[in-house]
Amino acid sequence: MSTVPTKQVDERAEGMKGQEGMTARLTAPLLTFDLAAEIEQLKGEEHWLKDGRISKTLVKHSDFRIVLMFMKAGTLMQEHKTDARISIHALSGRLLIKLDRETVELPAGHLLVLEKGLSHDVNALEESAFLLSISWPHGVDQESQGNVQHLSSLQ
């Protein structure tokens, strides 16, 4: 198996200007991430320091997204839902996911998968980093894309 160093992929995207460069970084055919470094970078952002919640889209295709989310202990992401299947992979900390009929505790290293349309809250019981993956089987339309952008901007 051949791998391309992250730096080399980043350098190719860096050569492009503005929105085109951002799109290349989010949709390249090969993407690798140092999640620990990404989390450290988020910790330095003003929004994190001010609000205790921040996110960064790592991958953005019409049918698939991965968003890195970071929340301080005690932070609540109010009830929401999406028209896509999602997974929440806890990287660090401990999350409490409240659904209509049950509550799931999600410690670091655990993964939760939800069918589309399920309303849920996300509560950080400890400072927590997690990957939110969103999958639309037939791609996303403009209205749905707006809903995901809203979800990722709930910082």
Structure tokens given for 51: 């609000």
pLDDT for 80 equals 83
- Write out the residue limits of the CATH 2.60.120.10 domain(s) in the chain: 34-152
pLDDT for 79 equals 87
pLDDT for 9 equals 45
DSSP assignment of the chain: -----HHHHHHHHHTS-HHHHHHHHHH-SS----HHHHHHHHHTSHHHHHHSEEEEEEEEETTEEEEEEEE-TT-EEEEE--SSEEEEEEEESEEEEEESS-EEEEETT-EEEE-TT--EEEEESSSEEEEEEEE-TT---HHHHHHHHHHHT--
pLDDT for 25 equals 79
Question: What pTM value is reported for the model?
Answer: 0.77
Q: 34-152, which class in CATH? A: mainly beta
pLDDT for 16 equals 47
Mean pLDDT in each 10-residue stretch from start to end of the chain (155 residues)?
Answer: 43 50 78 95 90 94 95 93 93 96 97 94 97 86 51 47
pLDDT for 81 equals 85
